[in-house]
Chains A and B, each alone.
Chain A
């Protein structure tokens, strides 16, 4: 169960105009602007749900994910995940979640993937039998057997992403956060990743929260959509709710574009 209530987060950003003179001026007197990354964000996600979290770049998706995973502390508001506040009880909280950042790796660059997995087993204190069971299952589902002996730096992006997802699931988390898991993948890998996420959600009843820019991810995976723009939740509904902002027969991509336009985000 994930509950967010009135979460606010502002970032202080230093501003200056281009040019050397301005750079010198800033040295003595700095002007800041405050950006409301998150503005009164509230939502509830039940156990076992799969939710697509969408919005344009800079809307606050990653910030929300980072707050829910205990990385950032919000300025105000409440967040309860499985009964815990992430930033207050970080260690116990993160034991029950898995996080995949599409643009960042959690594998150790120079050692074979299997070694990374072993280290993760110790970090999360996973029981040996559970670990073996999970690993065998993931190896089969994600087709890892061939690549698990290769150092992470020599994997292709698609192979690496499969390993990343496996790495996030070794400790059987109850909740899985995926931040752009399909970014930069080819069609085959995308489909493989999608079907795997779907399987995990239906078989293990893992709650999945997924941010993406790829509307096909959303179409293929999620019933429920949360739309965020300029730090506010604008819509909480299904794909067909998006439909009404657009013309009939529009693709998901076109619908979202229409919605962005409608809300001026």
Chain B
């Protein structure tokens, strides 16, 4: 952990060398997710509910997802640019240092500019929390917390899979973005909106619904089943097979010629 902070400080120091670029990309990140927010807003100015979910509920759902996604992006984004780390030989460097490879990959790419997106998510939270009709009892707050943690875990797992594939293909596979960036865009609305099939897919295959849809039902009082509140924690287990996959990948690492 201490080492992680050291890395972070080196990255911050490098960033300070390119101040303008940093400020611009932070603003850019903010604007990009702001348009997504506008999308939801305009949608609801025409229709007052989507599949029985009200505007404020959808907003709450979206802000939970965006928070966990931007947290994952901020800290685990190193895996997203992992194909670069492999092809420029940086991974060789990482392998000859006496620390866990995953920690090093994570620490070498901390994306401070994603703070823009995180800020957006927090703003939406500030708006959605009081205006939603949820009574904020202890268990509801806990649920919300679980949802964010669970989301962070699942998105991180997806980034790890994305990266591990680079060991076999050297180049990253863009189609996986369907689950990461796509998950973010889809996840604006509770997954049930998209129908049974999509919901099943996001429950059993890529467990995005485990931290978004089910606990959300509990949060809005549509169900009393406590298990729904705990599902995000089960979703966290998704990271285990992802890490195993990573191990296999490291064994297959071929390095690039020099």
Q: List the interface of chain A (C-beta within 8 A of B).
A: 11, 62, 66, 69-73, 90-92, 94-95, 97, 99, 101, 103-104, 106, 108-111, 115-116, 118-119, 122-125, 151, 179
A91 adjacent to B13 (CB under 8 Å): no
Q: Which residue of B lies closest to A98 (CB)?
A: B96
Question: Beyond A70-B96, A95-B98, A123-B98, is A11–B10 a contact (Cβ under 8 Å)?
Answer: no
Task: Name A's interface SS.
Answer: mixed
Partner of B10, one of A69, A115, A124: A115
B96 adjacent to A122 (CB under 8 Å): no
Q: Which residue of A lies closest to B6 (CB)?
A: A122
Q: Which residue of A lies closest to B98 (CB)?
A: A95
Which chain B positions have C-beta within 8 A of A106? 93
Q: Which residue of B lies closest to A102 (CB)?
A: B258
Which chain B positions have C-beta within 8 A of A110? 13-14, 17
Question: Beyond A104-B89, A109-B14, A111-B14, is A92–B258 a contact (Cβ under 8 Å)?
Answer: no
Which chain B positions have C-beta within 8 A of A123? 3, 97-99
Q: Which residue of B lies closest to A96 (CB)?
A: B98
Chain A proximity of B83: nearest CB distance (Å):
17
Chain A proximity of B100: nearest CB distance (Å):
7
A122 adjacent to B2 (CB under 8 Å): yes
B98 adjacent to A91 (CB under 8 Å): yes
**B7 within 8 Å of A by Cβ?**
yes
A101 adjacent to B95 (CB under 8 Å): no
Query: Interface readout for B246-258 with A: 1 if CB under 8 Å, 0 if not?
Result: 0000010111011
B93 adjacent to A104 (CB under 8 Å): yes
Q: Which residue of A lies closest to B16 (CB)?
A: A110
Which chain B positions have C-beta within 8 A of A118? 6
Task: Name B's interface SS.
Answer: helix
Give bound CA distance, A113 to B14, whole Å: 12
Chain A proximity of B110: nearest CB distance (Å):
13
Partner of A119, one of B7, B90, B96, B257: B7
Partner of B6, one of A11, A73, A104, A119: A119
Give bound CA distance, A15 to B187, whole Å: 42
Partner of B95, one of A90, A95, A119, A151: A90
**Shortest beta-carbon contacts, A-B, top 5:** A110-B14, A95-B98, A71-B95, A99-B96, A91-B98
Give bound CA distance, A240 to B168, whole Å: 44
Q: Which residue of A lies closest to B12 (CB)?
A: A111
**B171 within 8 Å of A by Cβ?**
no
Which chain A positions have C-beta within 8 A of B253? 71-73
Which chain B positions have C-beta within 8 A of A70? 95-96
Which chain B positions have C-beta within 8 A of A115? 10, 13
Question: Beyond A73-B251, A108-B10, A109-B14, is A124–B97 a contact (Cβ under 8 Å)?
Answer: yes
Chain B proximity of A130: nearest CB distance (Å):
15
Which chain B positions have C-beta within 8 A of A92? 98
Which chain B positions have C-beta within 8 A of A179? 258
**B92 within 8 Å of A by Cβ?**
yes
Q: Which residue of B lies closest to A11 (CB)?
A: B254
Question: Beyond A62-B257, A94-B97, A109-B14, is A101–B6 a contact (Cβ under 8 Å)?
Answer: no
Chain B proximity of A59: nearest CB distance (Å):
12
Interchain residue pairs with CB less than 8 A apart (26)? A11-B254, A69-B96, A70-B95, A71-B92, A71-B95, A71-B96, A71-B253, A71-B255, A92-B98, A94-B97, A101-B89, A101-B92, A101-B93, A104-B89, A104-B90, A104-B93, A104-B258, A108-B14, A118-B6, A119-B7, A119-B10, A122-B2, A122-B3, A122-B6, A123-B3, A179-B258
